[in-house]
């Protein structure tokens, strides 16, 4: 049985930190909104490259594979991008098999007003202005700094089977300590 959203740790991320949207952004800046929308439609089936926060998000969501009854975590996209980009982003989410189902695509507006709607505990973005809006509204937020993307899928630090083993050991240790 899944827990209600009040019992779920929800992190919101901007689509631009989950995926590398630098090519799309260049089209928007050089050719404007109409060409940008056309570019997204023409590239709808081309998965976006992984962005700076992708490795963290993938590992964070892996917690739900360990705690399948509780499903303790959720990721929501809050984005300044338009709905056309949203379709491409969701196709990329499917391509990478990420369990992300909720989003708000704001067509240029800051998405900070949706933080309470989605019960977000932390907002991550590369846009310092959006991060400051969220902080000013009284919610936790952090700026994702530009960095090299290292997503080693063989890294088992938060891999479910490894985590299950650790959780199992902790439960066993807890029972031993509390049975005395």
Report the number of distinct structural domains present in the chain. Answer: 1
Domain of 124, CATH number, reads: 3.40.50
pLDDT tens profile 109-131? 888 888 998 999 999 999 999 89
The pLDDT of residue 163 is 46
With a cut of 50, which residues of the chain have pLDDT below it?
1-3, 159-165, 167
Where do the H-state alpha helices sit in the chain? 15-18, 22-31, 33-42, 54-61, 63-66, 83-95, 128-136, 160-178
* Residue bearing tokens 């379709």: 87
Whether the model clears a pTM of 0.75, i.e. scores above it, the answer is: yes
Domain extent at residue 116: 5-178
């Amino acid at each position: 049985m899944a827990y209600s959203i009040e019992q779920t740790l929800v992190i919101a991320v901007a689509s631009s930190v989950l995926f590398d949207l630098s090519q799309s952004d260049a089209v928007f800046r050089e050719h404007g909104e109409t060409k940008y929308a056309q570019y997204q439609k023409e590239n709808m089936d081309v998965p976006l490259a992984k962005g700076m926060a992708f490795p963290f998000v993938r590992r964070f969501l892996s917690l739900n594979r360990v705690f399948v009854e509780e499903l303790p975590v959720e990721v929501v996209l809050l984005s300044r991008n338009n709905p056309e980009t949203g379709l491409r982003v969701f196709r990329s989410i499917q391509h990478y098999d990420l369990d992300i189902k909720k989003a708000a695509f704001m067509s240029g507006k800051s998405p900070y007003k949706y933080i309470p709607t989605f019960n977000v505990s932390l907002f991550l973005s590369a846009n310092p202005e959006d991060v400051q809006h969220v902080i000013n509204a009284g919610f936790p937020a952090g700026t994702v700094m530009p960095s090299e993307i290292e997503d080693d899928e063989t890294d088992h630090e938060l891999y479910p089977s490894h985590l299950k083993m650790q959780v199992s050991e902790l439960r066993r240790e807890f029972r031993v300590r509390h049975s005395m």
